Structure formats: C-alpha cells, structure tokens
Amino acid sequence: MSVGGTASGRWLDGALPPGVRVGDGSLIEGAQAFKRFYGTAPDALVIGESCTFQGVQFAVGMDARIEIGHHCYLNNTVLMAELFIQIGSYVVIGWNTSIADTDFHPIDPMLRIEDAIACSPLGAQRPRPPVGKAAVHIGDDVYIGPSATILKGVRIGPGAFVEPGSVVTRDVPAGARVIGNPARIVDRPE
C-alpha cells in the first residue's frame, strides 16, 4: 500500500493529502475528491488495492477515519465521516449515494439555531453543540444502488443488496435485499 500515492495507487488530479494511503492499482478521479478532507490521523483514509473511485468526495473530519477494502467501485459517492466508516472488499456503490456517520447538525430546533450561529461568521468562534455520531460498517460483496443514503450507526452485512433510492436507517442482515424510505427487507436468504 502506498502512502501519498508513491506506488501505483494514485489520485489523477493532484498529490494525495497527508493521512491518505492508497493501495496498488487503485485510482481516484475527480478534482473535488479531497475538498473537505480535514483528517489528521496518519490513517485517516485507507484504500485497498485495485479500487476505482470516480467523482467520489471524501469529507473527513479532523479525528475521523475511513477504511475501504480491495476491488471496490464507487461512482459519485459522498463519504461523510466524523467518526468511522468501514467499507469491505468487492463493494459497488452507485452514483449520487451518500454515507454519513453523523447527523452533522443537532436534531433539536433550538440547538440547530445555536449551531447555525456557531457556523456563521457572526459566531465569533462559539463552540458548536454536540451531534450524534455512530460508525457505519459495510461488509464484503455489498451492492448499493444509485441515490441511496446510508445513515449513522448502520451495519450492512456481507452480500446485501441496497436498491436504488433507499434510505438505510437500520442494520441490514447478510444477503438481504432492502428497498424504500426507510429501507425495509424485501428478500433475505433462507
């Protein structure tokens, strides 16, 4: 595995940021890939071998991490990590899919106002209120269709199939097929 793209794993649009390790034969395409990459850990983003990422955005918070296995294909996917996102090997994720391990903003309306002020230039560096975070785990051999959304705390078992447009708010068992908003199981292996 290369650090900074020194072996055959690389980003076509520039030098990889510190904390990014890309496996041999992996390729990242897209000028916006690291626009919101703030990871400070030496392993903030670890990508296995022979993966292809086209138009993927790695939005990684300062203390967050993302681990991706081997032989994965992601197309115009947004990975938003403030804690930890783990994606197994042989995973395919369709275009316009979002995966987030946090709510990013408070659920409570009063705290949302406080958060909006803290995020604005008027906030005078006020601290942001806390938000919910929970790791996302996606097993090996998973297919996630276009325009799906995977939310915090979800565990998708190996071999699962997430239909296009699904919003996954709960765990998906190994080999199950889910569809809808919120996603529900429509088929599972015997």
- The CA radius of gyration of the chain, in Å to the nearest whole number, is 17
**105 is annotated as an active-site residue:** yes
Question: Using CA atoms, how far apart are residues 146 and 174, in angstroms rounded to an integer?
Answer: 20
**Among 70, 71, 105, 137, the one annotated catalytic:** 105
Strand partners, 163: none
Identify which of 4, 134, 141, 136 has the alpha carbon closest to the alpha carbon of residue 69. 141
Q: Residue 141: CB partners within 8 Å, gap ≥ 6?
A: 88, 89, 90, 91, 158, 159
- Find the Cα–Cα–Cα–Cα dihedral 164, 105, 19, 150, rounded to 10°: -20
Question: Using CA atoms, how far apart are residues 81 and 99, in angstroms rounded to an integer?
Answer: 8
Quick check: helix, strand or coil at residue 79? Answer: strand
**Amino acid identity, residue 111?**
L
Identify which of 186, 187, 154 has the alpha carbon closest to the alpha carbon of residue 171. 154
Identify which of 4, 8, 66, 57 has the alpha carbon closest to the alpha carbon of residue 30. 57
Catalytic positions, written as ranges: 105
